[in-house]
Structure 1
Amino acid sequence: MTTRIEHLVTSGQFSLDGGTWDVDNNVWIVGDDHEAIVIDAAHDADAIAEAVGDRRLTAIVCTHAHNDHIDAAPALAERTGATIWLHHDDLPLWKQTHPDREPDAWLVDGQTIEVGGADLRVLHTPGHAPGAVCLYDPGLATVFTGDTLFQGGPGATGRSFSHFPTIIDSIRDRLLTLPPATKVLTGHGDATTIGAEAPHLQEWITRGH
């Protein structure tokens, strides 16, 4: 059965440190005709469930716990029986949005999430958030980067729980070491590749300071 990646854009709001912004989020569905996982259940559980269809949803994997990436996760889990996965370092952020419901399981650096022929390796990439992770599948030549790496540079580090030198270390050591042809599927905006972003590392460092 062929593994495929499906893309859904949902709209809502991101809130942190007393501010609120309108955002569009990328939701990624990875799997085959029978089972799938969702990467970042953002804003609209009904739309995500409709996109999954009659497949078995085995997991909802959170790249980090900013509210715009997790706000629909409990409702989607309740509807489908899927397990919510998050890195433990992001639990304080998670509790800001869902104080009465913890994730079901903790992501650990180096573990592999298997679904529908995909083997997604968890890469802990702190900086945008303490528990931020990326998911890399060599067979699909794809890495899902959440808000760690975008087309044009690193994710934002100007708010609570974030740190610019840390995100640079994560990108340099964990992402730019991947094959240049690796497709980068992000939490917001357009896709890119490792090869397109790698030459700009020093420029980002200079800009960040």
Structure 2
Amino acid sequence: MTAIVQNLVTSGVFELDGGTWDVDNNVWIIGDDAEVIVLDAAHDADAIADVVGDRTVRAIVCTHAHNDHINAAPELAKRTGAPILLHPADRVVWDLTHPDRAPDGDLADGQRITVAGTGLTVLHTPGHAPGAVCLHSPDLGVLFTGDTLFCGGPGATGRSYSDYPTIVKSIRERLFSLPDDTIVRTGHGEGTTVGAEKAASSGWPAA
């Protein structure tokens, strides 16, 4: 059985550099009737646990460590026993939110995560954050981009630990090499495709 993808939208506050912004986050739950992974445990552990139900959570995977993507991760890990996985380059960002609770394991470029017989490959895509990653599943024809790529262009790079030329390089070299019909599931807002964003990228500011 091929894994299915479920989407839960949770709401809360993004905090960085002394500012706060109200945000809605996409939480992605990938798996089958027996097991799942949770991608970006944002804001509401209760709501995420309700969707998971009695299924086994194999991992809580973080696309990056901004607080709005990880603030519910420790509580969800406590409830489910699942390890929290984060790219080590984002530990400096993680510690801003959870200084007393480390992630349980590292994500690495090229790492393969398997759930419900479906593989997802980790792509290190720094720029929005130093340890930002995307997950690509050829089986599903889906790319989970966190805040690296949105419908309409790259993720924000105007705050600490981010860099615009770096995110553009990550997108062009790592994501635009994927098939054009790859569905993009983002960290906030609506989805898109690799081809649509590639076609629109000629209008991006110079890196």
TM-score norm. by structure 2 comes to: 0.99
CA drift at 1:180:
0.4
1:19 corresponding residue in structure 2: 19
SS in 2 for 1:69: helix
Alignment root-mean-square deviation, CA? 0.8
Please say if 1:135 is aligned against 2:135. Answer: yes
SS in 2 for 1:75: helix
Distance 2:49 2:27 in 1: 11
1:147 corresponding residue in structure 2: 147
Please say if 1:41 is aligned against 2:44. Answer: no
1:79 corresponding residue in structure 2: 79
Aligned length: 207
Distance 1:50 1:81 in 2: 15
SS in 1 for 2:196: helix
Letter in 2 for 1:79: R
Distance 2:64 2:106 in 1: 12
1:51 corresponding residue in structure 2: 51
Counterpart contact for 1:168–1:205, Cα < 8 Å: no
CA drift at 1:202:
2.5
SS in 2 for 1:205: coil
1:186 corresponding residue in structure 2: 186
Q: Deviations over 1:98-141 (max 9, x none)?
A: 00000000000000000112201000000000000000000100
Distance 2:199 2:161 in 1: 27
Counterpart contact for 2:130–2:161, Cα < 8 Å: yes
Distance 1:185 1:54 in 2: 25
Q: Deviations over 1:17-50 (max 9, x none)?
A: 0000000000000001100000000000000001
Letter in 2 for 1:33: D
Structure 2: gaps of 5 or more residues: none
Counterpart contact for 1:62–1:69, Cα < 8 Å: yes
Counterpart contact for 1:30–1:118, Cα < 8 Å: no
CA drift at 1:205:
2.9
Flag as ranges the 4+ runs of structure 1 deviating above 3 A. Answer: none
SS in 2 for 1:200: helix
* Percent of pairs with identical residues: 67
SS in 2 for 1:5: strand
Distance 1:2 1:64 in 2: 26
CA drift at 1:203:
1.2
Distance 1:117 1:157 in 2: 35
Counterpart contact for 2:2–2:118, Cα < 8 Å: no
CA drift at 1:199:
1.2
Counterpart contact for 2:77–2:84, Cα < 8 Å: yes
